Amino acid sequence: MDTTNEGGDTGATTPPSSDGTWANYSSSILAALAAGALLTGTVAYRLLEDWGWVDSFYFSVITLTTVGYGDLSPSTPASKLFTVVYVVTGISLVGAYLNELLKRRARRAADRRSAS
């Protein structure tokens, strides 16, 4: 294991993503994954429940934002099982995306404070 950091000091390990790649693209990647989750949910509910496109998209958004009005609900066993997996993965993706946005906002605020 290399224990030399960017300044040439030894003893501290450098994180694998020290080049900033994840920091630069994390918001975009997580936004694409969250949008993909919404698209997947919309298509799945369209096929499994035979709802219209608008109702399927509406239910996907309501589910992933944990609002859950209750006006629509899955009725088939297949769509209920899909919903379980969809909720666990989708809420995690949306939460990770919102976390990245808040971290980026905090970094920008800290950079503005240090620049003044």
DSSP string of 40-108?
A: HHHHHHHHHH---HHHHHHHHHHHHTT---SSS---SHHHHHHHHHHHHHHHHHHHHHHHHHHHHHHHH
- pLDDT band per the 50, 70, 90 thresholds, residue 3: very low
Mean pLDDT across 31-36: 92
Half-sphere exposure of 53 (CA within 13 A, CB side): 1
Domain segments of the chain as ranges: 26-115
pLDDT surpasses 60 at 15: no
Q: Is the pTM of this model over 0.75?
A: no
Q: What is the pLDDT, as a whole number, of residue 24? A: 76
Q: What is the pLDDT, as a whole number, of residue 17? A: 54
Instruction: Tell me the pLDDT tens digit for each residue of 45-96.
Output: 999 999 999 999 999 999 998 888 889 999 999 999 999 999 999 999 988 9
Q: Which CATH class is domain 26-115?
A: mainly alpha
- pLDDT band per the 50, 70, 90 thresholds, residue 23: confident
